[in-house]
Structure 1
């Protein structure tokens, strides 16, 4: 018998196809190549005065030109987004991970975890290096730091209580320096690392994301490491002035880039990456605070980007992998808007 009622299908739910993708479905290789050439070219241009002046790592303006260089990835990303990439991203602020912070609570908490977690990784690397016999520590008298203060003041070791010495005991200075690490990760370091992260994790990582999570993370890290070439060949980070130093920097950047890149994928925001990068730089001088006088550890092994710190990073990456954290990547899309409207 026929029913007098006709079944009415439930209202259709919006499908993913109804929402325009914020990120490309395929890698725009032309834009990636343009970004690489511009970022690396500008990096060499920024570092050129250091090469022309001939002082190398002893150049008093090293920090200034290195800071200028840190903004070149952001400049490259903006040039590519506005003038090269086609179709141009419809929401540039969201594409670069600047805005919105969705959900804000997760983004903020992961930014805090990034600051303290990255600092802890660098510090743990120093103690692991000591366990491997690659660095000698003096956690009581801080003799190495005491010696560096004396050298900076053009005095002799133990002269810190003289007229020309520091007003505070060395132990107090070391404590203040350690407490200051998370604050330095924000100010001033984040003001500089935003220049790098806007390029690496802001633009490049999500642009390469169609390759898959791991290829995107590793390729981004490799390009990030190679970009350091103008400074590495001057002896920066590893004390090497050859391509072996560049290869070490690429390897270090790839493993560190996995951790920082995970923050980008997990939060869809570049800000936790900015603070993680800032924390890594802020904690980079920790070994100098606790090293024993007369010890000269190899930066290849015991430096903040040395192979021993890679072990600590690998352990953290392994924990994230086992707990499935790399599969938790929020949808990076918003409500549908006209295709010709660009939101910031």
Structure 2
């Protein structure tokens, strides 16, 4: 008499496994509707704001026009298009098993910032002698992990769509391919922003064009890290923390450190350089966002 083990996820729900069990027809239909709602639901409001003389460099405008559009798209698809519900949507934090990944999510932005500064020094783009940061700026950066946590509810709006719904359904069973494709789609979603004032007034066509292009590698690199957090925890929250930290700790930190000495596109390059070692470590370790880790529990099945 042997007791055979049953495979059970650390959180009790395996979102990736559920996505893989969907029928191809259901998956394709859901993805098409999700992309249509996510893109039109953001691009149309951005265009309206621009035509009315507004600018997307206003955080409140960003929040009102698009911050939660991917989440809305995911909810519409889950509830009314595929009717699959929300069991695999990663709403729970699973703190007991996810806390190491939450710790990584709120500290990686610090690491990316430090590496970006190191690259800027090595390339001669910036010198420590140029540093002129106020005490409040230092305090803000010191509070980086708290900022990541506080910002997570806002950045949840994107991650609940791109990560908790889309990424596992694009190229099922091929984590590297689906990560690249999700990153590309996510980056393209941002493409109108340089043209509607996201970088402030005075952005010329060349800078806007390069801003569009740099959004692709940045989104792909972020998606590798977010995919690792997602596949390890089955929770959307660590990815939302990381996303918030890259925007509000790493990127804002570079603005504080570099001031006007580095252009927006150069800062994006430096952020990519800062994220690259983390992505390389994830890929080399084989944590590319595939099947989630499991722990074995004995079941009552007797063979």
TM range (shorter): 0.7 to 0.9
Mapped to 2, the partners of 1:225 and 1:107 lie a distance apart of 27
Kindly provide the CA deviation profile for residues 72-122 of structure 1, in whole angstroms up to 9, marking residues without a partner as x.
Answer: 00000000111112xx336x14x1111362xx4331221121111123213
TM-score (norm 2): 0.81
2:63 — aligned with what?
67
Q: Is the 8 A contact 2:173 2:290 kept in 1?
A: no
Aligned match of 1:38 = 37
Offset at residue 300 of structure 1 (A): 1.5
SS of alignment partner, residue 194 of structure 1: helix
Cα offset, 1:227, TM superposition = 1.2
Q: CA deviation at 1:31?
A: 1.2
Matches within 5 A, 1:268-283: 268-283=234-249
Q: Which structure has the bigger radius of gyration?
A: 1
CA contact (8 A) 1:31 1:84 kept: yes
How many angstroms apart in 1 are the aligned matches of 2:3 and 2:118?
A: 61
Alignment of 1:1-344 (within 5 A): 22-25=18-21, 27=24, 28-56=27-55, 62-68=58-64, 69-85=66-82, 88-89=83-84, 92-93=86-87, 95-99=88-92, 101=94, 104-138=95-129, 142=132, 145=133, 170=134, 172-187=135-150, 189-208=151-170, 210-236=172-198, 239=203, 241=205, 242-283=208-249, 284-291=251-258, 295-301=260-266, 303=267, 306-326=268-288, 329-330=291-292
Name the CA distance, whole Å, in 1 between partners of 2:232 and 2:7: 23
State how many pairs are aligned.
Answer: 281
Query: How many Å apart are 1:245 and its aligned residue?
Result: 2.8
Where is the strand percentage greater, Structure 1 or Structure 2? Answer: 2
The alignment partner of 1:325 has SS state of: coil
When normalised by structure 1's length, the TM-score is 0.72
Provide structure 1 residue ranges, at least 5 long, that are not aligned to the other structure.
Answer: 1-8, 146-169, 333-344
Asked which structure has the greater RCO (Cα within 8 Å, sep 6+), the reply is 2
Structure 1 residue 203 displacement after superposition: 0.8
Unaligned runs of 5+ in 2: 295-303
- Change in Cα spacing, 1:30 to 1:133, as seen in structure 2 (3 Å) is same
CA contact (8 A) 1:193 1:278 kept: yes
CA distance in 2, matches of 1:278, 1:253: 13
